Amino acid sequence: MSPAKKRKQRGYDVDKTRAAVLTQFAHVRDAVLVLTPEQLARPAGLGDWTVRELIAHLSMGVESVSRALEQPAPPVVEVGLPGWAFTTAAVAAPISDDVKAYAASAEPAELFERTAGRITALLPDAAADRLIGVRVGAMRLGDFLVTRTVELVVHTDDLNRAAGLDIPFDRQALATCTRLLADALAEKAPGASTEVRIPPYAVVQCVQGPRHTRGTPPNVVETDPLTWLRLATGRTTWAQALASAQVSASGERADLAALLPVMS
């Protein structure tokens, strides 16, 4: 069998991504301002974090853009898309330590106000190809903003479930998050025997095997965007999603259990 053809990296409109990051952050900020002490003290469902610490992590994720833009540009790109998704596990422990300190440094509303002021001052004029240094290496700003949609959308979903909220998802942010995580799956399991559909935002082919060329593919997986991001990040398992009919899978190569999550 010939080796799988290398996939062309998906392009993202930096202006739309920039707007998506700012809009989703504003949605979360509005909710944070009215959370009660009881809600802040609830478990976040992510290790030993409370909702307060989850909120701090959300603020830190956007604040990291401002911090990076204030530093000198590194010389070369080290991390791109969708490979970023495979780097996050290595920095999980130091992130958790920093989150606890950051959460204790100020009230959530103050953290978000400070982050909002800095990001709205720095981001609009920053060039998409500007190199920035982040935890996992050097990235282009445009690529890093795509990763911020993943952080914002995934943790907005976490926050909604932990605190009993209904924070809306910016359509562009949700679309970008969905596409990056779908591309990460295709990068992890290159091939064209299985089609993964996440309407209305993404369709990717993956898994080695007979290549499909026309008509209905023999191996098809379909799910909705929120279920997909929960599968891709380990919030739910393949078995749970199948049992609850949140995902449909047909064909002998349509079982993705061994490939999930794609990031953690």
pLDDT digits (tens, 9 = 90+) for 170-226: 999 999 999 999 999 999 999 999 999 999 999 999 999 876 666 677 899 999 999
Question: pLDDT at residue 12 above 50?
Answer: yes
Going from N- to C-terminal start, the domains of the chain cover: 14-173, 189-259
Q: Which fold has domain 189-259?
A: Nonspecific Lipid-transfer Protein; Chain A (3.30.1050)
The answer to whether 14-173 and 189-259 have equal CATH topology is no
Q: Which fold has domain 14-173?
A: Four Helix Bundle (Hemerythrin (Met), subunit A) (1.20.120)
pLDDT at 127: 96
pTM of the model: 0.94
Question: Is the pLDDT score of 5 beyond 60?
Answer: no
Could you tell me if residue 191 is left (phi over 0), alpha (psi between -120 and 50 degrees) or otherwise beta?
left
Cα–Cα distance, 189 to 90 (Å, whole number): 20
221: left (phi over 0), alpha (psi -120 to 50) or beta: beta
Confidence of residue 72 (pLDDT cuts 50, 70, 90): very high
DSSP string, the chain: -PPPPPPPPPP--HHHHHHHHHHHHHHHHHHHTT--HHHHTSB-SSTT-BHHHHHHHHHHHHHHHHHHHTSPPPSS----TTGGGGTGGGGHHHHHHHHHHHHHHS-HHHHHHHHHHHHHHHSTT--TT-EEEETTEEEEHHHHHHHHHHHHHHHHHHHHHHHT------HHHHHHHHHHHHHHHHHHS--SSEEEEETTTEEEEESSSSPP-SSS-SSEEEE-HHHHHHHHTTSS-HHHHHHTTSEEEESTT---GGG--S--
pLDDT at 9: 83
**What per-residue confidence (pLDDT) applies to 4?**
45
Name the region of 165 (left: φ>0; alpha: ψ -120 to 50; beta: rest): beta
